[in-house]
Amino acid sequence: MNSKHLTKGSRKPSPVRRGKLRLYSNRFCPYCQRVILVLDAKRIPYEVVNINLVNKPDWMFDKSPMGKVPALELDNGEVLYESLIIADYLDDKYNAHRLHAKDPLQKAKDQLLLKQFTKIINALLKTVSLGRIEHDEAQVISEGLAIFERELTDRPGPFFGGSRPGMLDYMIWPWCERSDVLKIYGKDYILKKEKYKQLMEWRKVMVEDEAVKKSWCSANTHIKYLQSSRAGVPNYDLLI
């Protein structure tokens, strides 16, 4: 997973072996981590090809539009892209360790919550782009997390999925893992832990999940990567 990120001029990988999956990924991309979490949670064998997003290999554009990651290549040469599409495909294709709720209504409600979380993601992305957190973005993050705090309080277990993490847990986790990077914008923007007690407990148990452990990075590592990215030279190979 921590292999060197391939760049322009890199040799095109050989075809995917029969019965295998290949994920074109990036070590610090939260959308890629979504797919990795699903693969690991469902214990699906796969291989990873890491891609340098600033200097992409030419052949990557043959794998997905605009060379986007994540992209999942199947052994028949078909390639899927977009993290939520790939996650749903994997859960439908591989029956073991189902992540979506069995109840259609609950599954639909979880998907609506995930749409709500997209607002938080957009606010975080704008913050990183600006290099500072504005009042509007801080409010979106705060109000959005309050929705998830209330929802988790009503769930029958420590996870949104109940007694074990489900699809909603894994789909929002990559950004929750990175939430402590907000402290680089000053103490006023550190998440108030007393305000989100349920979510803080959820974070503690999520970190102990076996699938999460495999792709988890510390806050300091995420901050180092973010600092390199903001300087215009993202260090994708930071962990090598």
Instruction: At 213, list the tokens.
Output: 């452990």
Q: Residue 6 in contact with residue 215, Cβ under 8 Å?
A: no
Judge whether 212 and 172 are in contact, CB under 8 Å.
no
**Catalytic residue flag (residue 176):** no
Q: How many whole angstroms separate alpha carbon 150 and alpha carbon 114?
A: 15
Q: What are phi and psi of 71, to 5 degrees?
A: -140, 130
User: Looking at residue 1, what DSSP letter applies?
Assistant: -
Beta-bridge partner residues of 47: 22
DSSP string spanning 174-202?
Answer: HHHHTGGGGGGG-GGGS--GGG-HHHHHH
State the sign of the Cα–Cα–Cα–Cα dihedral 225, 7, 25, 67: positive
Active-site choice (29, 32, 176, 217): 29
Q: What residues are labeled active site? A: 29
